[in-house]
Chain A
Amino acid sequence: MGDTRRYDQKGDQMKLVDIDSVSKCYNRVKVLDNISLDINEGERTVILGPSGCGKTTILRLIAGFIAPDTGGISIAGELVSRNGRIIKPPEQRNLGMVFQDLALWPHLSVKGNIEFGLKAKGLPKIERKQRIREILKLVGMAGYADRKPGELSGGQQQRVALARALALEPRVLLMDEPLSSLDLELNVRLRKEILRLQEKLGFAMVYVTHDRDEAFDIAMRVVSMKQGRIDHVRTVTPCGDKDA
């Protein structure tokens, strides 16, 4: 797969998300302990770890559903949350997210699911229509615009969730174990599909999984987590991975 990372004039990677000394507790249990992590433009970062290690919490913090108890998070150089306070709400962060259970709205058609965000952003009808057509074509779901999520197979639902997340051309795509419920064959097929889309569109991606093979198949960088802390970070190169 090609390198989609972007570099500044000095040759440094362009930082998009900056997680700075973040801690988070749920019911007095510390789920994240002083985490610092950068997500760079066009980079595929995979957060790998067992259940309960805090990887989904990192995604929810970036998305803005929760605020860090201590520490801060910046997106594109702008502080979005700090010390228990959400400064920029989720809808102003220009992020896309694919949830573990996909969270497709069951009462809306495929088209309606994609159109919801485009409408909220105030895009005119003609543009919305065109964007829906393009994105459905991109994920191979062109003929399914009027179907309801319940009428689709697991793989098709996955593609619709991707299309919905990408329709607004997000700076970062957050993916919370999106393939965990699929069988291995479909999982591998969709992995390739995700990589193809990321390469074509060039968005930064933060992908959460507990599956080591999946992680190294997708990542440019693998962040391993253990009990709420970053255990180590590895950069994945075509010749093999190396510690950062």
Chain B
Amino acid sequence: MLLLVIGLLPILSMLAKSVIVDGRLSLASYGGLLTSAHQWTLMGHSLALSSLVTALTIAFGVPLGILLGKTDLPFRRFFTVIFVIPLLIPPYIIAVSWFDLLGREGLLAYFLGVSATRVTARFLFGLPGCAAVLFSIFLPIPMLLTIIFLRTINPRLEEAGRLVSRWRGVMKGITIPLILPGVLLSAMLVFLLSFGEFSVPNFLRYNVFPVESFTQFSAFYNFKAATAAAVPLAVVTLVVLLTEAAFLRERTYQLRPSPEVRRLPPVELGSYRKWLLGLVMILGFVMVILPVIVLIVQSAGTKAYIEALGWAGDSLLRSILYAVIGATLLTFFGFFTGYLIQTKALSCWRSVDSLTIFLFALPSTVIGIGLISLWNTPWTNFIYSTPVIILLGYLAKYTALTSRISVTQLAQIPSSMEEAAQVAGAGWFRRLGFIVAPLARRGLLAGWLVGYIFSLRDTGITMLVYPAGHETLPIRIFTLMANGSPQLIAALCMVMITATLLPAGILWVIPGVMTRKVIR
């Protein structure tokens, strides 16, 4: 019910308002949608960008996931962590970093002269630059899903292959076909996330639907035009998700770690090991380390950081506060939703799951406009004019993440644990609070962390709904990007990266907190 109010109702309200003109039903807002060449250009740009990003991330991410999840490549855990970093920070920070390197006044110009950066700047601003930046941000999705799906394969299936074939044959004939649903799922996710991404195309001046929707709303305050530009985004999202539901859903529900504890030893790379290590190091350096180095160099010196904290210290504290509250709400809400999905306690569990996925895949601008449409009324101003509206946005958008984490964790707890408590006379709340939740505490912690990171990095929803005087750090950086000094922006980006990764780093170093335990 809560999910319907915070997630679906805003979207329905947005659609309803866009078809009512002067109190009468009218499709005037959508008049130009099919006939305007501009709209078709936008759709072409959006599809080209998301298709290119999807193709690139799958081409690199799946082999990378296999290398990190299946072979004896050195430093596999380190590389996994490194490649995930771009996904955890606001996307435009990577774009800012590449701009600081390749732009006309970037570091490359300092070393090679302005003429050298004419080509690189042309590359950066437009489809190739946008695709390259989004590629580095979304690369971890197929990489991680490949690693996770590899762990779901019963090792006996591969052993049966190993009796008659070398690893290459087993990979081609058995392992890769078995993880294909995971590959397709990651392709779908990357496609939808890059289709809905607006901050990177906006910064790199590549006009796509989410940018149009955002511009219509924020620059012209043309609500109906913004909605009309958001509708194709929602339709494409729905079509892709329905396709996923028809062909993949049953298979991806089986995303459970294989109960086998003894796995096959990693595939030995032999003489290829050092070459592949070199390639992975180069990719990691270019995609992750270089952008961070550029930001560090650009922001060098305490002056920039003092100025940054002076400019945005309040936004930083606010961001952390909202992210902590958001993460806590997401953890609770995601846990209950995950429990409903896992135990199939309600007959509508599949619809609940589909709705969370739909809201996650829906572009942030669509959710933002939906929230404004529903809550911007004199009667609901007590919500709309307070940070509660931001938290509602977080809940609508990111519940899918925490509920999926809970489902995975709950699937590993034998149902007999809860049944034993039930036989002992414990009620539902007692069972959930004293038996299930403590057993799922690692999942809850992981959910909280993911909720914190995604709430903190959120730009799309917050940008549209934040009440005056409540802007978060990503919003402050985003608005400064138009006229702030590169040093100041780089320093703010570094502050943002630190605030995002610090809790994960703390939990990582506390012994036993993030290590996996199998419940039998």
Contacts and interface: CB of A to CB of B under 8 A. Distances in A.
The finding on whether chains A and B are genuine partners in a shared complex, rather than unrelated, reads yes
Interface of A: 26, 63-66, 89-91, 93, 95-97, 99-101, 103-108, 116-117, 119-121, 164, 168
Nearest to A96: B163
Contacts of A121: 164
Nearest 3 Cβ contacts at the A-B interface: A117-B164, A120-B165, A103-B156
A108 B177 CA distance: 9
Given A26-B262, A105-B174, A107-B177, A91 B157 contact: no
Interface string B152-194: 0010110111111110010001100110000000000000000
A96 B177 CA distance: 23
Bin the interface of chain B by size. 10 to 19
A168 to B, nearest CB: 6
B250 to A, nearest CB: 12
B71 to A, nearest CB: 15
Contacts of A66: 265
A91 B157 CA distance: 14
B179 to A, nearest CB: 10
B264 interface: yes
A90 B157 contact: no
A101 B260 CA distance: 12
A107 B173 CA distance: 10
A91 B159 contact: no
Contact of B166 (A91, A99, A107): A91
A138 to B, nearest CB: 18
Contact of A116 (B154, B161, B178): B161
A101 B156 CA distance: 8
Contacts of A116: 161, 164-165, 173-174
B154 A117 contact: no
A168 B163 CA distance: 10
A47 to B, nearest CB: 18
A89 B265 CA distance: 12
A168 B164 contact: yes
A97 B157 CA distance: 11
A12 B264 CA distance: 37
Contacts of A99: 156, 159-160
Contacts of B156: 99-101, 103
Nearest to A164: B160
Interface in B253-300: 262, 264-265
A224 B117 CA distance: 76
Contact of B157 (A65, A89, A95, A103): A103
Interface string B115-158: 00000000000000000000000000000000000000010110
A149 to B, nearest CB: 11
Given A89-B162, A119-B173, 15 more contacts: A63-B159, A64-B162, A65-B159, A65-B162, A89-B166, A91-B162, A93-B163, A99-B156, A104-B160, A105-B160, A105-B161, A116-B173, A117-B163, A120-B169, A121-B164
B165 A103 contact: no
Contacts of B162: 64-65, 89-91
Contact of B160 (A64, A97, A119): A97
Contacts of B173: 108, 116, 119-120
Contacts of B174: 105, 116
B74 to A, nearest CB: 20
B166 A65 contact: no
Contacts of B178: 105-107
Given A116-B173, A120-B169, A101 B163 contact: no
Contact of B264 (A26, A65, A91, A97): A65
A64 to B, nearest CB: 8
Contacts of A104: 160
B262 A91 contact: no
B267 to A, nearest CB: 11
20 contacts: A63-B163, A89-B166, A91-B162, A91-B164, A91-B165, A91-B166, A99-B156, A99-B160, A105-B157, A105-B160, A105-B174, A105-B178, A107-B177, A107-B178, A116-B161, A116-B165, A117-B165, A120-B164, A120-B165, A121-B164
A137 to B, nearest CB: 21
Interface string B62-100: 000000000000000000000000000000000000000
A86 to B, nearest CB: 9
A189 B169 CA distance: 35
B153 to A, nearest CB: 10
A121 B165 CA distance: 7
A90 B164 CA distance: 7
Nearest to B264: A65
Nearest to B260: A101
Nearest to B164: A117
Nearest to A99: B156
B163 A103 contact: no
Contacts of B165: 91, 116-117, 120
A103 B160 contact: yes
Nearest to A167: B164
A37 to B, nearest CB: 20
Contacts of A164: 160
Contacts of B265: 66
Nearest to A100: B156
Nearest to A95: B163
B256 to A, nearest CB: 15
B166 to A, nearest CB: 6
Nearest to A56: B262
Nearest to A121: B164
Given A107-B178, A116-B173, A90 B262 contact: no
Nearest to A98: B160
A61 to B, nearest CB: 13
A195 B189 CA distance: 52
